[in-house]
Amino acid sequence: MNIEHLITMANQIGTFFKSYPDADQAKKDIVMHIKRFWALQMRLQLIEHVKQHQGEGLEVIVKEAINEHGALLA
């Protein structure tokens, strides 16, 4: 899948969860939402993008969520 599309979708998820009062819980929920609803290949592409390109284009909360809890996505 096109990485730009994955970035857009991940940012939409991040926008929803960043309104949570507990930022740590929001990050966990972002990762768990992606894990539940995205195919493995999509998740791996997103992880690789964060590793290779420092998550360019991703909202800060999404990058942090993947860096902190990305192991749950694989």
Spell out the per-residue pLDDT of the chain, length 74, in tens.
899 999 999 999 999 999 999 999 999 999 999 999 999 999 999 999 999 999 999 999 999 999 999 999 98
Q: Please state, as a whole number, how many other Cβ atoms lie within 10 Å of the Cβ of residue 39.
A: 9
pTM recorded for the entire structure = 0.94
Write down the pLDDT at residue 5: 98
**CA geometry: angle at 67 spanning 16 and 35, to 5°?**
55
Q: Alpha carbon 48 to chain centroid distance?
A: 11
Sign of CA dihedral 50, 55, 60, 61: negative
Write down the pLDDT at residue 1. Answer: 86
